[in-house]
Amino acid sequence: PLIQPFSPNAATVPGWGTNQLNQNTMFVLSDTHVVNSRVVNIARFGYMRFDGVSSIANPILASDIGTESPTGTSGPNVAATGITIDGLFTLGNAGTPSQWQVTNSFILQDTVAATRGNQTIRVGVEGKRHQVDVEAPFSVDGLLEIQTFDDFLLGQSAAQNGSPSGSSNVSLSNGSSGLFRKDERYIDFAAFFQDDIKVRPWLTVNAGMRYEIFGSPSDVNGRLVTFDPGIASRTAPLEGTLSGFVVPANYHGVVPQGVTRSSISGLYETDHTDFSPRAGFSLRIANHPTILLRGGYGIYFDRLSAGLSEMLLAQEPFSTFTFVSGSSNAGATLQQPFTPALPPDSSYPAFSPRVPGGGPSIAAISRGIRDPYTEEYNLNTQIAFRRNYLLEVGFVGTRSLHMAGCAEFNQALLASPTNPINGETNNTAANVIQRVPYAGISPGSYVCGSDYDANYNSLQTSLTKRLSRGLEFIGSYTWSRNLDQTSGSSGSELFETHFVTNDQTNFRQAYGPTDFDRTHRAVVSLVYSPLVSHQMPGLLHYALSGWQISGVITAQSGTPITILDNSAGAVYGNFPFENRAQLSGAANPSTSGSLRSRVWGRYLNAAAFTSAPEAPNGTGPSDTDFGNSGVGLVRGPGQRNIDMAIERSFPIAESQSVHMRAEFFNLTNTANFSNPNSDVSSGPAFGVISSTATNPRIIQVALKYQF
C-alpha cells in the first residue's frame, strides 16, 4: 500500500491525495532431471501476477462549485473538473480519478544440456501467454488551464468578456469520455540452439540460433481500433467519410460504412521471421603475458512494450478526447467548460466522420509494425600484463533497426502559385487545415510504428586489480557515440512514443545524438583493507585492524540538448513543441566561462538563435518554417561524484562480530546540474539552469551484529 498526500500530475495543494495498492505474486515450479552423466534436462513452469489500483481523493464535487464534467453532468458523484492557474496552483485530480491494471503471465520452459568431450550443446523452448487488463479513464473529470487569477474569477466566454482576440477566460479545456477498459492478450514462443566447442586448448568457438515469435497484441472485446493512412482517402466529402479506420476481426457490433474490418484480431501481422544467429570466439594469442582475443556477433529481437497499444485507451470509437485552446475555446465558461459537451459513456462505440474543414484528432498504431532488433558486435583484447592485473581494450557496437517511434502523418503540404493545394497558393498558419494531405483529420494526428533506426559505437577499456595486499579495484573508461532519430522530442519511454522533430516526412533530418548519450564516462571502484603486521604491540594491532575503505568515483560528459522553438514551423500545423530553433550565426550556442558563472547566468546564448525563417510563399513573419539547428546541438553540464564507505569490524567470538559502517554519498557535496531550459520561446527563462540533477551530500551510519 502507498499513500501519497500529493498525487502525480494533479493538485499542488492538499486534499487530492492518492491511495494506491500494488500486489505482486510469483510462483515457479522447476524440475531438474539428470538423464545421465552427460545430459541434464530442466523444465520450469512460472506464473506471475501484478494487481494494482490507484484512487485519488476528490473532496470537491462539480455540483459544489456549479461546474460540469466533460459530458455536461454535475450529479452527486461527479468530481469537480481540475483547474490549473498558471504560476499559482492546480486543483483537482488532473482528470483521472482512478485507474487499475491486472497482468497475468504464464510461462513454460524446457532446456536440455548435453556435454560430450570438448563440446557442450544446449537446446530449449519457451512459451508465454500474457494477459494485460487495464482501465485508465484519462481526463474523464476534465482539466482546465486558466492564465491568471482574474480569469479564474471571471470565468466567462469570449462573447461575455468582450475579448478582442475571441478568447474565453478558460484558455484550455482538456477532457474525454468513453469506454476505457482494455483486455489485451499476447502470446510468445521461442526456441534456441547453442553449441560451444573447445576446438583447441587455445581456441573456443560459440555458435547458435534463436527463433522467436512475438504475438501481435489483441483485445478480447475487439477494442484495439486504429487508423491506417495507407488505405485512407485523401479527400473527404461533405457528408463525411470513415475511410482509414480499421477495426479488428473480433470487433463486436456492426462495422460502419467506410471502416475496414481487418482479417486478424491483432493490431498488426505477427512476424514469423525472427531468426537470430549468434557467433563468438575466444583465442589465446600468447601465454607470457597471457593475451586473449574475444569477439562476437549476434542479432537480438525485442518485444514492443504493451504500453504502446495502451495509448489507444483514449481513441475512437470507444472514447473521445478533446484538447481545445485559444479562440477555438471561445464558448467555454467555468460553468460550462466543454462546449459542446462530449457524448455520454453509453453512446460508445461511436466514430466521428471525416468532413471537410474538421474531423477527429487521431493517435494510431501502424499496421506495418515489425519486431525491432539489434545487431550487436564486439572485439575485445584482455592482457594479464602483471600478476593480479588485467587490462581490457575493446570495441563494442550496436545497430538497431525497426525501433518504435511516432510521426505526425497529417503535416500540411507547401503550396505555391504553380502548385496550388485546394485553391491555396500561399502558406500561412491560418490555412493549415486546407493544406493537410488527409482532409477531415486534425493536424497533429500521429501514427506510431517501427520505422526508426539507431546505432551505438564505443571504445571500452578497463583495468582490474584482483585482491592482493589488501587492495582490489576496477577502473573503466568508455568513449562512445549513440545516435537515433527520435531524440530531442517529447514522448514517453514507457509507451515507446518518442516523436520526430521538424519535418515529419523526413526522419533522416532528425538523426542525431540520443538524449542519454554521454561521450565520455569513467568509473573507478575500489575496496581497501589495510594490512596490519602481527608483530605490532597488541593494543596498536587491535586499533588498526578490522578496517575497510571502499569507494566509487564517477565522471561523465553531459547529455545532448536540442534547442526548440514553439513558434517555428507554424505553417505545418504540427505540435509546436517538436520544432527546432533557428541559428542566427552571430554567436556560439554555448556561453563561455566557468560552469559556476554559466549556472548563475545563462548556460545557453540567446544571441545564437533568432526567429524561425518565413516559410516559402508565406505572408508574414509569423508564418514560419522549421528552424535549422540540429538535434543535440550542445551538451549539458557534466557530472562528477564520489561515494565512500568506511567500515570497522570487531570480532567477539569465532562466529560473532560487530560491524560499524559510515557511508558518504556525494562525499564532496558537488553540485551536479540539470540541463537548462532549451525552448527559445521561453523568453528570459531560456538557457537558464534551475535545478540540480543529483542529491547533496548524504551521510548514514549503521551498526550490525553478525552471528
pLDDT recorded at residue 652: 87
- pLDDT bracket for residue 322 (50, 70, 90): confident
CA distances from 40 to 32, 112, 117, 536, 550 (A): 7, 6, 15, 55, 41
Task: Flag whether pLDDT at 53 surpasses 70.
Answer: yes
Amino acid at 676: P
CA distances from 335 to 44, 79, 162, 325, 537 (A): 60, 14, 18, 17, 86
CA distance 455 to 284: 30
- pLDDT bracket for residue 164 (50, 70, 90): confident
Higher pLDDT: 257 or 310? It is: 257
Task: Compute φ and ψ for 161, nearest 5 degrees.
Answer: -90, -5
CA distances from 190 to 114, 401, 606 (A): 20, 20, 53
What residues contact 428, with CB distance under 8 A and at least 6 apart?
Answer: 571, 618, 619, 620, 623
- pLDDT bracket for residue 139 (50, 70, 90): confident
End-to-end CA distance of the chain: 33
pLDDT recorded at residue 267: 94
CA distance 154 to 85: 13
Task: Flag whether pLDDT at 503 surpasses 70.
Answer: yes
124 SS3 class: strand
CA distance 501 to 569: 10
Of 243, 179, 183, 180, the residue nearest 218 (C-alpha): 183
pLDDT recorded at residue 497: 85
Q: 578-608 pLDDT, tens per residue? A: 999 999 999 999 999 999 999 999 999 999 9
Q: 115-125 pLDDT, tens per residue? A: 999 999 999 99
Mean pLDDT within 18-29? 96
What percent of the chain is predicted at pLDDT more than 70?
100
Mean pLDDT within 670-681? 95
Task: Flag whether pLDDT at 661 surpasses 70.
Answer: yes
- pLDDT bracket for residue 494 (50, 70, 90): low
Cis-peptide, bond into residue 317, ω within 30° of zero:
yes
Neighbours of 142 (CB within 10 A): 29
Neighbours of 586 (CB within 10 A): 10
Q: 387-427 pLDDT, tens per residue? A: 999 999 999 999 999 999 999 999 999 999 999 999 999 99
CA 83, 86, 89, 95 torsion-angle sign: positive
Rounded to the nearest 5 percent, the helix, strand and coil shares of the chain are: 10, 45, 45
Confirm if 171 and 329 have CB atoms less than 8 A apart.
yes
pLDDT recorded at residue 138: 83
C-alpha cell at 386: 602483471
CA distance 653 to 35: 46
Neighbours of 222 (CB within 10 A): 19
CA distance 224 to 369: 15
Task: Flag whether pLDDT at 358 surpasses 80.
Answer: no
Task: Flag whether pLDDT at 359 surpasses 90.
Answer: no
Task: Flag whether pLDDT at 615 surpasses 70.
Answer: yes
299 SS3 class: strand
- pLDDT bracket for residue 165 (50, 70, 90): confident
What residues contact 495, with CB distance under 8 A and at least 6 apart?
Answer: 305, 307, 308, 310, 311
pLDDT recorded at residue 9: 80
Amino acid at 641: N
Q: Is residue 423 classed exposed, middle or buried when 0-12, 13-18 and 19+ CB atoms within 10 A define those classes?
A: exposed
Burial 107-136 (b: 16+ CB within 10 A, else e): bebebbbeeeeeebbbbbebebebebbbbb
Q: 336-351 pLDDT, tens per residue? A: 999 889 999 999 999 9
pLDDT recorded at residue 360: 84
**Chain centroid, CA 141 distance in Å:** 26
Q: 291-315 pLDDT, tens per residue? A: 999 999 999 999 998 888 888 877 8
Amino acid at 140: V
CA distance 526 to 466: 10
- pLDDT bracket for residue 536 (50, 70, 90): confident
Mean pLDDT within 174-203? 95
Mean pLDDT within 520-536? 90
The DSSP call for residue 65 is: H
Q: What is the mean pLDDT of the chain?
A: 93
Task: Flag whether pLDDT at 436 surpasses 80.
Answer: yes
Q: 447-486 pLDDT, tens per residue? A: 999 999 999 999 999 999 999 999 999 999 999 999 999 9
Task: Flag whether pLDDT at 221 surpasses 80.
Answer: yes
